[in-house]
Structure 1
Amino acid sequence: MRHAARWASRFAAVIALTLVASTAVACGDDDEGSGGGNVTLRFTWWGNADRADLTEKAIDLFEAKHTNIKVETSFAEFNAYFQKMATEIAGGSAPDVLQMDYRYVREYADRNVLREFGTKGAKVDTSKMAKSLLNGGTVNGKLYSIPMGQNTQEFMYDPAAWQTAGATAPKDGWTWADLEAAATKVSQSTGNKVRGISDFGPIEDWFEVWLRQQGKTLYTNEGKIGYTAADVQKYWEMADRLRRSGAATQADVTSKLDGSQANDPVTQKTASSGFGYDSGLTPKTWEIMGREMKISPFPSDSDNLGQYAKPSMLISISAKSEHPKEAAQLIDFLLNDAEAGKVLGTSRGMPVNSDIRASVGGGLTGPPKVAFEFETAVLPKLKDAPPPPPKGAGAVKTAFQRTYDDVMFQRSAIPAAAEKFMNEAKQALSS
């Protein structure tokens, strides 16, 4: 699943309200497990049907080896997943095992929604996992979420469309001006029917990469905003210029972005390229997109690529789970079992267990092989992931996209929109 997720403002409200409510119900006891007998675990995640199929196969293996444990599963697209999760947590009915996003680890941990690993039977072997990745699930020195995979940001493009248009393909050291020139050629060659690139203006993830190229960060170590309104204005002016020229997707197309493949302009062939995460390349990606794509690093105007090794997604145990021991067994199996690793492959990014990653990498084909080779090649240029964002970061991301909507639809001038966003972001972090 490509992570150009569109965050509605009411989603942020749901998250905030339900997490407040969950504080009262999420302080579970230190139950060590079922004490024997049959156990049923609920496990939920986000992703597409391709990822779900592989996950179900891995769970079948787990149940075959743990005959006393039954796993009930469910999944949804990214936005819908967190809306449902917030509601379930507030109602005291969170699943035992839940997939967690890097951006929400701190917020959920601070609300006592997640159980700390290593306590009361909730033990998972992390000896084969890089500390830099584990930091992505660590809050105040305590591990609340374990990465399920490693990924990094990427630029995906249709090589056939670019060649037909006479656009220069990405290469080491390419710049944002190079991207603009190539996207413009693609749009012009199709009479603007297929835009050169999906508008990247509303997505905070891609703003973060651009920002890091400037030597700045989304958040400081103290959890404060690490950039200025001028930075936001400069980024949005670049994106706005591409959209106005016809190089990037038009507002009514971009505004439909919601994290689903159904509304992804690249998948729908209304754009020839876009930014994403390499964990989105599953075995059926080319089939879903209807053509074979290529990926490259982000363009950059400096020697700093801005990308980093990121937990593609994490996995946690609910603080209210009555079976933390069995929940930990499931997590340990999914992350450390060789058979499970072979089945799951790179469906959630590069495996975090170093032995499994080496084993899986040698047998990959198709899109997963493309992702593996890309990440292997770019690894020397990747930086460590920053610590989990502070409480309120989800609302900041929502505000970023919502405010850019005003720019796209020409309801606000960019300088005013940037100032408005900064005020909302500071308020979200302080509330």
Structure 2
Amino acid sequence: MKFENSLAFAQKMDEQDPLHKIRYEFSIPKMPNGQEEIYLCGNSLGLQPQLAAEYVNRELNQWASLGVKGHFSGDFPWMPYHEFLSEGLAELVGAKKEEVVAMNTLTANLHLMMVSFYQPTKQRYKILIEDHAFPSDHYAVESQIRFHGYDPDDAMILLKPRAGEELLQPQDVLDVIERHGDSIALILLPGVQYYTGQVFDMQAITQLGHQKGCKVGFDLAHATGNIVLNLHHWGVDFACWCTYKYLNSGPGSVAGCFVHQQHHANEKLPRFAGWWGHDKSTRFKMENKFKPIHSAEAWQLSNPPVLSLAAIRGSLDTFKKAGGIKPLREKSEKLTGYMRYLLEVQLSDCVEILTPEEKKYSGCQLSLAVTLNTQSDIQLGKKIFDHIEANGVTGDWRHPNVIRVAPVPLYNSFEDVYHFVEILKQSIEINRE
């Protein structure tokens, strides 16, 4: 697509965008002067869908009017409420309904998955993660290794970029699996790297990992709702994700989990069990012999917080209004492509885009490093970030020197992108002086 560096072009793109109206399904924060912010932080916390507020209020009213009877009354009784989310979550991650469940939080789910899928032996005991993994993932993996009596310095294989590079070369990832696969019990990598925005080749990683006898799981915190996923077809063993980033379900909302169908009937698979994972037909007999549900629901521990599930349902219904992840991904490629074009046309001398250009390896997030010779890059980058934030742009800053911005196709516009680059340009020009 041929882009143009003009406000008129951006406005024309918005007029022709069949998904532009979905923007008005969200509450967009405003600046003190009453103007809408340019909100580019959906990779950290998505905006509130109007349906989320409506659905949460509905359950509050149910609680007020029905009390405990709300567990079994109305169109969306609380007892099976998590089941109302399964279809929407399955569509977003490319799974069967019975392979997904909304439960717990992301890191809690990673621990529960490792109970089942990290089963070290004397010969096969290592976990492959990236060296720059999100800290919580690193902590979880290290603690699981120690719990099993191994030394993380020996049992953790850390993927590192080549010297002088920020990105992991896809072939390098596969080469490490090929070399060390016989000693790897678990591969646990992100779908999208949080710092650089790089998308991993999950299909190739899963295929080679299984050939080498490894279990394969993914942290999809930055992937679900951002890129098209096909977990069932790829044969991924498990995946976990939060729902407050691209899924717009509110701060700290209930997370999601995928367990491939091939593992559902294996009742001998180690797991930490809880009442909500017990067979539904006999759950209320209150017996003490655990019988797991033959679905991802078997990994549930307790009944989930319904108010959070209601917010997730509101978000999933908003995705449905947009036609699902595929048309949103098509718009995302244009929207982020337009941002990349404007940055390269206007600021290529001082803004480095760390995120890969190839669509296969990038989602909607762009990670930007500002480089001028007037002062240290870290001081300069943070100063410029603070300036654009003061002028109505909400993105986020990640140590040591990255401004992350994510034009989310559900609620961001081409005009948002145009004005963001203009504000960034002005901020850089001020700091050149």
TM-score, with length taken from structure 1: 0.29
Instruction: Find the structure with the greater CA-based Rg.
Output: 2
TM-score, with length taken from structure 2: 0.29
Comparing both chains, which one has the higher relative contact order based on Cα–Cα distances under 8 Å and sequence gaps of 6 or more? 1
